[in-house]
Amino acid sequence: MADVLLARCALPTGPAWGVLADDRIELVASDAGTNGGFLASLLQLPHPARALLERRPGAPSLEASAVMTAPPGAAAPHLLAPLDLQEVWAAGVTYERSRVARMEETAGAETFYDKVYTAERPELFFKGAASRVSGHNGPIRIRRDAAWNVPEPEIAVLVGAHGGIAGYTVGNDVSSRDIEGDNPLYLPQAKIYRESCALGPVVWLTEEASPVFDIAITIQRRGGVVYEGKISTAAMRRSFADLADWLFRDNTFPAGAYLLTGTGLVPEAGFSLAPEDRVSITVPRIGTLANHVVQGR
235-272 confidence digits (pLDDT tens):
999 999 999 999 999 999 999 999 999 999 989 888 99
The count of other CB atoms within 10 Å of the CB of residue 215 is 23
Residue-range domains of the chain with CATH: 3-80 (no CATH), 87-294 (3.90.850.10)
User: Taking the C-alpha atoms of 275, 140, 219 and 116 in order, what is their torsion angle to the nearest 10 degrees?
Assistant: 120
The pLDDT value recorded for residue 99 is 66
Q: pTM for the whole thing? A: 0.95
Task: Name the nearest CA neighbour of 157 among 71, 65, 257.
Answer: 257
Pairing of β 153-159 and β 257-260: antiparallel
The DSSP bridge partners found for residue 29 are: 17
β-strand pairing of 153-159 with 287-294? unpaired
- Whole-number pLDDT of residue 115: 82
Residue segments in the chain with a per-residue pLDDT below the cut of 70: 97-110
Q: What is the pLDDT of residues 92-123, one digit of tens each?
A: 989 876 666 665 666 555 677 778 888 999 99
Q: What pLDDT sits at residue 145?
A: 97
Cα–Cα distance measured from residue 221 to residue 227, given in angstroms and rounded to the nearest whole number: 9
The whole-number pLDDT of residue 188 equals 96
Task: Give the per-residue pLDDT at 104.
Answer: 64
Cα(242)–Cα(228) distance, integer angstroms? 29
